[in-house]
Structure 1
Amino acid sequence: MKKVLVPTDFSACATNAVEFALQSAKKIPMDITLLHAFELTGSVYTDYMGVNKEFNQLQLDEIRKQMHALAAVIEKDHGLVVKTKVITEALPKAILQATEAEKFDLIMMGTVGAGQSRNRFLSTKTGAEIGKTDTPVFVIPMDYKWQEPSTILFATNHFEEDPAILDPIFELAGLFPAKVQVAIFTDEENDTPYTFLDHTLTLPHYEEKLKKRYPESSISTIQLYGKDFSETLQRHIDEHDVDILVMVTYHKSLWDRFFHPSMTKQMSYHTKIPLLALPSQQAEWRQ
């Protein structure tokens, strides 16, 4: 989390993500870059005639002024120096261009969150970024107010052992510090009784293995089961005061994306708390 990219379109949704990044930076040293994606308007004909060129330039100049002004306000109010970047591309291309050029450790984006179905298209922009980049994406719901996390929940449906995934979770927990709970989910409708039994028997050994690997962390495990992943997970979060949810995204084929939609992406539309989506290099359809 040394270099963090925070896209903003100056909306309340994006502004809350910026605020979350700033408050986090007061606890964890990090370099923050604010990104605005400006998509040029016009067509081949109007561009040739020069109709949109001046209009686009005026808009671009105004956006750059807004970004510089925002950085100045942040320095004055928070005592933090942030960088600004304006890229003349649609948001997905702008994020990809920025992360490829500067190797950011984290992308922090706002989402409308649960209970805002009428504005779901706003969340879609954030959800669409999950799984498209090798950079972790931190999803911040618009109504969530920053607080120092004390409980981090890692939700998965199998026993993850990849250090590239586990290490960032426990490193994040150690920075605050926060306890880590690992939840293994069993689907009541699609999983077999054997799967449930296997999860039940394997869970204590998995917890022991995690405690040996990360002896300085407070670790617990739990098996969650239900018919709907999002509802089951959100109920557990509400009942146990979870502060941050962590999930993993896997590379999937077009066929798998159609028949097995990403649980992580689905959760980004419903979550009431920050969701950290970690990318995996493994091919899995589960999440």
Structure 2
Amino acid sequence: MKQILVPTDFSTCANNAIDFAVRSAKLFPVGITLLHIFEQKGSVYSDYMGVNKEFNQALLNDARNKLAELKKAIEETEEVTVNTHVAVTSVVDAVLQATEELNIDLVVMGTLGAGAIKEKLWGSKTAALIGKTKVPVMVIPFFYTWKKPENILLSTNHFETEPAILDFLFEMADLYMAQVHVAVMTDEDDDKAAIFLEHTRKTPQYEKMLKAQYKEETLTATHLYGKEFEETLQKHIDDREIDILAMVTYQRGFGDRIFNPSKTKRMSYHTKIPLLVIPGKQENIF
């Protein structure tokens, strides 16, 4: 991992993501780019008449000044190198473009809080990114307080073997010097009995394969099942003192058994710990 992108609207929600990125950068060498997305106000008619042109330019200049001040503050107090970037477009388009042009390896972004409307809007934009990026997204909860990650949990019902997924997960664990855990999920309401039996049979085999491939003797794989996905997973997170939850997103249409962006979005609203969302592919199923 060499480059982290942190979109910001200067809210508390976004500042939590910046704090996570900065503290991570102090643990291992990684570059940080702060991205401010300026979404212009007004309509085609008002822009044509020049009503909003001056107003928008003033807002844009103010945003650039705030970004420069934030960069200076971080570099002086934290001794972390920060780059800045401003985009005039939608949040999703700006992040997708920046990840391509700036060779970004990870996007870190704050999620929904219970505070002001501005925070809720920013959190919903974070959720809108899930399932759309080609690089992993780390979602930082509104009330999260930094703790050096020691336990990372991969939650899946897919028995992932795709190197692009697993290599990133285990590289991140190495950088934080954290232990990897795996939870294979079965939904008692949605999944058939045959799937339950399949998951029960495959989970020990999957654990053995991951231990051998990534030289992780302390890795554990657990078969979880319950009627409420979020509650079952959250209880396991609490019991194992998990610091980062990792999930893999697949586009709709690949099958009901594969986590899709909507289920991961639900966790982005409910999780109390950072959620690492890794984009996946259909092939290479264990």
With normalisation by structure 2, the TM-score equals 0.92
Measured after TM superposition, the shift of residue 120 of structure 1 is: 4.9
- Following superposition, the deviation at residue 83 of structure 1 comes to 0.6
Q: CA deviation at 1:218?
A: 2.7
**Aligned equivalent of 1:84:** 84
Shift of residue 174 of structure 1? 1.2
* Deviates further, 167-176 or 211-220: 211-220
Distance across 2 between alignment mates of 1:200 and 1:13 = 39
Partner of 2:54: 54
Paired residue type of 1:175 = L
In 1, Cα distance between the equivalents of 2:120 and 2:54?
34
Amino acid at match of 2:238: D
* Aligned counterparts of 1:193 and 1:117: Cα–Cα separation in 2: 45
Which residue of the partner structure matches residue 249 of structure 1? 249
1:118-151, Cα deviation, whole Å (9 max, x unpaired): 8655422111101111111100012111111111
Distance 1:255 1:187 in 2: 14
1:57 to 1:121, Cα distance in 2 relative to 1, 3 A: closer
Is the CA contact 1:136–1:279 (under 8 Å) kept in the aligned structure 2?
Answer: yes
Give the structure 2 partner of residue 132 of structure 1: 132
Question: Partner of 2:281: helix, strand, or coil?
Answer: strand
- Aligned counterparts of 1:120 and 1:47: Cα–Cα separation in 2: 28
| 1:255, distance to aligned residue in structure 2 (A) | 11
TM-score by length of structure 1 reads 0.91
Say whether residues 1:172 and 2:179 are aligned partners. no
Superposed, 1:33-44 pairs within 5 Å as 33-44=33-44
| CA spacing shift, 1:198–1:255, aligned 2, 3 Å | closer
Q: Would you say the 8 A contact 2:130–2:261 is kept in 1?
A: no
Give the superposition deviation at 1:209.
Answer: 0.8
Shift of 1:2: 1.0
SS state at 1:172 partner: helix
Amino acid at match of 2:20: F
SS at match of 1:107: strand
1:8, CA displacement in angstroms? Answer: 0.5
Deviating more after overlay: 183-192 vs 94-103? 94-103
Q: Per-residue deviation at 1:270?
A: 0.6
CA RMSD of aligned residues (A): 2.2
Decide whether the 8 Å contact of 1:154 with 1:246 is kept in 2.
yes
**What's the CA shift for 1:252?**
2.1
Report the counterpart of residue 222 of structure 2 in structure 1: 222
**Equivalent position of 1:148 in the other structure:** 148
The runs of 5 or more residues in structure 1 that have no matched partner are none
2:282 aligned counterpart, secondary structure: strand
Structure 2 residue runs of 5 or longer lacking an equivalent are: none
Aligned to 2:31: 31
> How far did 1:43 drift?
2.1
Residue 261 of structure 1, CA deviation: 6.3
Aligned residues: 280
1:182 matches 2:182: yes
Paired with 2:51 and 2:224, the residues of 1 have a C-alpha distance of 59
Distance in 2 separating the partners of 1:69 and 1:254: 46
1:108 maps to 108
CA distance in 1, matches of 2:273, 2:205: 29
CA distance in 2, matches of 1:169, 1:117: 34
Contact 2:112-2:142 at 8 Å conserved across structures: yes
* Structure 2 CA distance for aligned equivalents of residues 204 and 229 of structure 1: 21
Q: What's the counterpart of residue 234 of structure 2?
A: 234
Matched-pair contact (CA < 8 Å) for 1:181–1:220? yes
Measure, in 2, the Cα distance between the counterparts of 1:206 and 1:141: 30
SS in structure 2 at match of 1:69: helix
- Indicate if the aligned counterparts of 2:250 and 2:261 stay in contact, CA closer than 8 A: no
Post-superposition Cα deviations, 1:52-94, rounded to whole Å, max 9, x if no partner, equal 1111111111110110011000011101120111111121121
Contact in 2 for aligned 1:189/1:227 (Cα 8 Å): yes
Q: How many angstroms apart in 2 are the aligned matches of 1:121 and 1:6?
A: 17
User: In the TM superposition, what is the alpha-carbon distance from 1:253 to its structure 2 partner?
Assistant: 4.3
Deviations 1:213-264 (A, max 9, x none): 01146311101100111111111111221000000001224998xxx76221
Work out whether residues 141 and 271 of structure 1, in 8 Å CA contact, stay in contact via their aligned partners in 2.
yes
Q: What code does the residue aligned with 2:123 have?
A: S
d(CA) in 2 for partners of 1:155 and 1:8?
Answer: 28
